Chain A
Amino acid sequence: MLFSEYLEFIQSDKLGPNGQIKASTAEPTAVIGASLSRIDGPLKTTGSARYASDHNFPGMVYAVPVGATVASGKIRSIDTSTSEKMPGVVAILHHGNFDPVFRNASGGRNSEQRPPFEDEVVYYWGQYVALAVAETFAQAQAAAAAVKISYAPDAFNVSTNLSDPMPAIGASEGPRVLSHRGDPEGVFTSAPVKIDYTYTTPAETHNPMEMHATVAIWDGKKYTLYESSQGVMNHATVMYQVLGVPRENVEVISRFIGSGFGGKLFPWPHSALAAVASRRLNRPVKLTLSRKMMFANVGHRPRTQQRMRLGATPEGKLLSLCQDYRNHTSINDDIRENCGEATPFLYSTANLQVSSALVRRNVGTPTPMRGPGAVPGLFALESAMDELAIKLNMDPVALRLGLDTLTDEEKNKPFSSRHLKECLQVGSEKFGWSKRTLGVGSMRKGDLILGWGVAAASWSAGRGVAEASVSLRADGSARVSSGTQDPGTGTYTVVAQIVSDKTGIPVRKIQSVLGSSSLPPGPTSGGSTATATVIPAVAEAAVNAIKITLTAATTTKGSPFLGKQVKDLAMSSGRIHLKNQSPESGIPFEEILKLGNIASADGQGKTGGYGSDTDGKNFSSHSFGAQFVEVEWDPGICRLRVSRVVSVVDAGRIINAKTARNQMAGAIVMGIGMGLLEQTTYDSRNGHPINDNFADYVVPTSADHPEIDIHFLDIPDPMIGEYGARGLGEIGLAGIAPAITAAVYHATGVRVRNLPVRIEDLITANVAV
């Protein structure tokens, strides 16, 4: 999905906009930007946080799906005679005996448009074709393994070569032109310096620690779904339609999430399977995916193939830039990986084209994975920039600095806040870039060869609509709630910090309540937009709760402020006081509430979508960054490791330095996985994602964790919202892979254009041992 489509999606709940978000001129209190531990940390480290599959109920049964063992075809027969007689088995469900599941046509976003068990057709290996339900998990697993299915297989395609024949760019059924200015083809043809290479990134599988799971309860009227979801509101919106019940009859609860990386943004078919089974059997149903199913059934980052053509002058002026890319998608769903997300505006050039095509494969439906589009797109763009710098014999940092621009040349608007130049400069300084020597294999550290590489990073900034509620309570505490969720990023803590900033109540006395669709509608945790989206609503709700308290202070008998004007009062440090006097001169807010016999002062707040700002429409908002990577190369044994990363990020104001660093460090390690290790391999003979386990799908371990230096510019974005915070979920991953391959080239002389970098690629490197 294109980011613009995502923004549209998160703004699609037509919540009445609360008018413009005004940039605040006031400096927030010290709690903003503080390095605070997560308030939910103790619950997680002591094992008392309950994740979706930790929920158990009397009478609960276990459901285990059966996956297809062909990539395409029709189910000829399903033999359940053995499995049905096995101990503890309650039901074996499949397309022949399942209850209706519907498509969602009235808002919300689903992952697979095709309802599970809709018919006998199989479109990819692992597609759910039956569901075994039994009294225990082991019984359900055994029964699932005993279901015998025969197929009439059809031809299928899981090829990694995406060069399928198709009409010309721009023609009907041909690649779509997503961006175009000037005369990119003509100017490229006559450019004095040309780069023309094709880069590929493999399918990658989201592998959060916590597997997807649904615990479904049907009470005769209403469904309660315990999910691992990055978007409880959207999940409920989709599921009420999928299940064919009124909206208020579905509640989705996701209090703790063992991360998602985008894989848990939208519902997957197992949720409907569990819910329908719970109604059918009138018993709570628990369905937990196996790690194996994570590779087939719940999305992946699709494979991309990107031809990059850069035309330049010998001095490093970018005359033209063409990115013609393809990505694979599933048979039934059109998922466009937006590889050109950053291309139109990252560097100044008068002639540009981005085109995009979808190539169908018999694989599960792809879905956004951390930095969708931009991350693989920047691998191609930034690799091509590095190759251009080498061809021009220019320093790659200098080349980028020379192409910096403060205008979005695609939209012809100024950036609300762009500091790519500072990122590159600060990063160079911290990394020691000036000590880099140019020659391949020219830098040594003992017996090892060092390689240094750099890449720019970018990720869109956005804000959706949200509501939040803040209560100031007579016991001196506060409560903040919103129907968003904390996928492990720190949202619980961040919303508490906002309330603390407004009220002066310490964070430890603020209860954050998230993760239920019954709360005031909050944002999906995706696209690095949740923080920017939820903050204004929380801030407004806090201000409104304060107003109620101040009003009580002026009207309650016995209040020292009885008869004063609300406008002359303020709340800070948790105390009500005269605006022109210190907080110490006033009294704790809870004294006012107690005097007035008020249990809590409840304020509501709303965030309008980014499109609701008249000012915002005049600017282009993005986050930026610079990634510097050092690799150590031991050619004698062909061993390559990332040893050092310096990451400088311009993501607006940082709300919580600790959780922000945590997000960045995790993303950087994920980038090492993308650069050196990760790829989902589909067996060409049957479409099975064959490396569907953690021994064969290799991700970085702690031992692969390099020295990481993260620096935030911490410059508030005046257009994104009151605090100027843009969000940090994805930017840390952007630019890491191309910085790695640039460093690999510097060390080995091998340019890897097809990720990941493998020993196979490097074993032919001709660097002296």
Chain B
Amino acid sequence: MDSFTFTRSTTVDQAVQLAAKSLTAQQGAQVRFVAGGTTLVDLMKLNVERPREIVDINSLPLDRVEPSPAGGLILGALARNSDVAHNAAVIRDYPVLSQALLSGASPQLRNMATTAGNLLQRTRCVYFRDTAHACNKREPGTGCSAITGHNRMLAVLGTSKDCIATNPSDQNVALTALEATIQIQGPKNKRSIPIHDFYLVPGSTPHIENVLRPGEIITSVTLPPPVAGTNSTYLKLRDRAAYEFALASAAIVMKVSGGRIQHIRVALGGVGTKPWRSFEAEKVLEGHAPDRALFQRAAEAALKDARPQSENAFKVELSRRCIVRALTMSTKSA
């Protein structure tokens, strides 16, 4: 770990100003915000992140979970994953989010990790995390060690010839299915970005993971009002029963009315380079009577463009089964 300066900011404006001098808000940022620290501190110890300045934002007044004027829910950027997972309104109106959060990490980590920190969680690709190996995400232009290496855990959707790193988050998959919006404050203005547009696929610039610019800070995440009559489910598949990143996961928000699927959102985890919204699956499902054959067609559609690597072809089939089961669970609880 390199030496760094440590500043605690007490207002959002101050934090934004401190970070605005960073040349990038992406990999290689000179200034980093720290909240729970569960990703950043690890990466600093590994010399993957080498910020010169750390701005502690834990004192900012951004830790509330409260109703939005539109009837949805606003999750403060600093709301801890545990608090969101156990929030009564989240459990009642957005169970998929609570389930996703509780399926991730461990209680100790969830007590530290925050909503916005989780949004910015970095990949667990072993080559990204070890400076002895080439990695385009960590050091642009050096090459991708994973494509010809150990890639069992890595992505099959949204990959490029330069990067196949998986977005490891569970929370973000649920937020994608819920069509959450991310509120950002920057040096010049505030903006609001739908979560689907917040993340970028790697393409030829895997070191740029999202739309954040220098100085910009996430202040909150807004969930739209719950759609009456929907069920939501998060299903996560992995090698062991707890404390492991997903091999495949699915977040489903579904409403069945009059024997037909009237509202459907499908998002996938563990298989994409970003939290993966499957419009393809939704298109197959929308307006049809829910049954097993339909679900299988939706799962096929969702993975149609999958490009497996040497070790992870099984994830394509596993993801399909995950989708079918999660859709079935969503139907049953209706």
**CB of A141 within 8 A of chain B?**
yes
A residues in contact with B324, CB < 8 Å: 636
Q: Which residue of A lies closest to B148 (CB)?
A: A685
Of the 9-residue stretches B60-68, B236-244, B260-268, which lies at the interface with chain A? B236-244
Check B2–A142 contact: CB distance below 8 A.
yes
Stretch in contact with the other chain, from A107-115, A157-165, A378-386, A690-698: A690-698
With a cutoff of 8 Å between Cβ atoms, the chain B residues found around residue A176 in the complex are: none
Q: Could you tell me the distance in whole angstroms from the C-beta of B164 to the nearest C-beta in chain A?
A: 15
Give Cα distance in the complex from A636 to B317, angstroms.
11
Within 8 A of B (CB), among A666-698: 676-677, 681, 683, 685-686, 688, 690-691, 693, 695-696, 698
A residues near B293, Cβ cutoff 8 Å = none
CB of B142 to closest CB in A, whole Å: 14
Q: How far is the CA of A698 from the CA of B240 in the complex (A)?
A: 8
Nearest neighbor of B322 in chain A, beta-carbon distance: A637
The answer on a CB contact under 8 Å between B240 and A695 is no
Q: Within residues 218 to 253 of chain B, which ones have a CB less than 8 A from any CB in chain A?
A: 235, 237, 239-245, 247
User: Do the beta carbons of A142 and B240 come within 8 Å of each other?
Assistant: no
Greatest chain A CB density within 10 A among B129, B239, B242, B245 is at B239
| B318: interface (CB < 8 Å) | yes
B149 within 8 A of A: yes
A641 CB within 8 Å of chain B: yes
Q: Interface digits, A198-212 against B, CB 8 Å rule (1 contact, 0 not)?
A: 000000000000000
CB nearest to B324 among chain A residues: A636
A70's closest neighbor in chain B, by CB? Answer: B132
Chain B interface bracket (under 10, 10 to 19, 20 to 34, 35 or more): 20 to 34
Q: Once the chains bind, are B318 and A700 in contact (CB under 8 Å)?
A: no
Contacts of A760 in B (CB 8 A): 314
Contact indicator B325/A69 (Cβ below 8 Å): no
Residue of A141, A637, A676, A681 near B239 (CB, 8 A) is: A676
CB of B242 within 8 A of CB of A701, answer yes
A301 to chain B, nearest CB (A): 19
- Asked if A638 is at the interface (CB within 8 A of a chain B CB), the reply is yes
Contacts of B317 in A (CB 8 A): 763
Q: How far is the CB of B314 from chain A (nearest CB, A)?
A: 4
The 8 A CB mask of B294-334 against A (1 = contact, 0 = none) is 00000000000000000000100110011011000000000
Contact of A638 among B45, B130, B237 (CB under 8 A): B237
B132 touches A69 (CB 8 A): yes
**CB atoms of A141 and B1 under 8 A apart:** yes
Q: Does A598 contact B (CB under 8 A)?
A: no
Q: Is the CB of B126 within 8 A of A696?
A: yes
Assess A703 versus B318: contact at CB under 8 Å? Given A637-B325, A691-B150, A696-B153: no
Indicate whether A138 reaches chain B with its CB closer than 8 angstroms: yes
The distance from the CB of A379 to the nearest CB of chain B, in whole angstroms, is 19
Q: Quick one: CB contact mask for B122-148 with A, threshold 8 Å, 1 for yes?
A: 001010011011000000000001001
The chain B residue with its CB closest to the CB of A705 is B241
Rounded to whole angstroms, the CA-CA distance of A106 and B318 in the bound complex is: 57
B306 to chain A, nearest CB (A): 14
- Give the chain B neighbours of A87 by CB distance below 8 A: 3
Contact partners of A759 in chain B: CB under 8 A: 237, 239, 247, 314, 318
Can you name the residue of chain A whose Cβ is closest to the Cβ of B242? A703
- A758 interface residue, CB < 8 Å from B? yes
Contact bitstring B170-181, A, C-beta under 8 A = 1, else 0: 000000000000
Given A637-B325, A690-B150, A760-B314: A677 and B245 interface contact (C-beta under 8 Å) = no
Instruction: Evaluate contact between A704 and B149: CB separation under 8 angstroms.
Output: no
User: A145 on the interface (CB 8 Å rule)?
Assistant: yes
A85 adjacent to chain B (CB < 8 Å): no
Residue contact B149 to A683, C-beta cutoff 8 Å = yes
Q: Chain A contacts of B242 at CB under 8 A? A: 701-704
Name the residue of chain A whose CB is nearest to the CB of B243.
A701
Provide the bound-state CA to CA distance between A700 and B133, in Å. Answer: 28
Closest-CB distance, B327 to chain A (whole angstroms) = 12
CB–CB A641/B325 < 8 A = no
The chain A residue sitting closest to B316, CB to CB, is A763
Question: Which residues in window 180-220 of A have CB below 8 A to B?
Answer: none
A700 and B240 contacting across the interface, CB-CB below 8 Å: yes
* CB pair A703 B239 closer than 8 Å: no
Measured CB to CB, the closest approach of chain A to B132, in angstroms, equals 5
User: A508 at the A/B interface (Cβ < 8 Å)?
Assistant: no
B75 CB, nearest partner CB in chain A, Å: 26
| Residues from chain B with Cβ under 8 Å of A579 in the complex | none
Instruction: Answer yes or no: A639 CB below 8 A from chain B CBs.
Output: yes
Within the complex, the shortest CB–CB distance from A83 to chain B, in Å, comes to 13
- B237: chain A residues at CB < 8 Å are 637-639, 759
Which residues between 52 and 98 of chain A lie within 8 Å of chain B, taking CB atoms? 69, 87
What is the CB-to-nearest-CB distance from A62 to chain B, in angstroms, rounded to a whole number? Answer: 14
Chain B residues within 8 Å of A685, by CB: 145, 148-149
* Residue ID in chain B nearest A760 by CB atoms: B314
Check if B149 sits within 8 Å of A691, measured CB to CB.
no
Q: With A142-B1, A760-B314 in contact, do A701 and B132 touch (Cβ < 8 Å)?
A: no
Q: Is B47 an interface residue (CB 8 A)?
A: yes
Which residues from chain A contact B126 at a C-beta distance below 8 Å?
690-691, 693, 696
Q: Are A698 and B2 touching (Cβ within 8 A)?
A: no
* Cβ-defined partner of A704 (8 Å) among B124, B130, B133, B240: B240
A688 touching B132, Cβ below 8 Å:
yes
Query: Which residues of B sit under 8 angstroms from A690, Cβ to Cβ?
Result: 126, 149-150
Within 8 A of A (CB), among B1-19: 1-3
Pairwise interchain contact A683-B150, C-beta atoms closer than 8 A: yes
Distance in angstroms between the alpha carbons of A560 and B134 in the assembled complex: 84
Contact indicator B1/A138 (Cβ below 8 Å): yes
Instruction: Give Cα distance in the complex from A142 to B44, angstroms.
Output: 11
B239: chain A residues at CB < 8 Å are: 676-677, 698, 758-759
Measured CB to CB, the nearest residue on chain A to B168 is: A695
Q: Which are the 7 A-B pairs with shortest beta-carbon distances?
A: A703-B242, A703-B241, A760-B314, A701-B242, A69-B132, A704-B241, A690-B150
User: Given contacts A87-B3, A685-B149, could you give 4 more A-B pairs where the C-beta distance is less than 8 Å?
Assistant: A142-B3, A637-B321, A676-B240, A691-B126
Could you show 17 A-B contacts with beta carbons less than 8 Å apart? A69-B132, A142-B3, A636-B325, A637-B321, A638-B237, A638-B321, A677-B239, A685-B145, A688-B133, A690-B126, A690-B149, A691-B126, A693-B129, A758-B239, A759-B247, A763-B314, A763-B318
Instruction: Give the interface of A toward B (CB within 8 A).
Output: 69, 87, 138, 141-142, 145, 636-639, 641, 676-677, 681, 683, 685-686, 688, 690-691, 693, 695-696, 698, 700-704, 758-760, 763
The interface of chain B, by Cβ under 8 A from chain A, is 1-3, 45, 47, 124, 126, 129-130, 132-133, 145, 148-150, 153, 235, 237, 239-245, 247, 314, 317-318, 321-322, 324-325
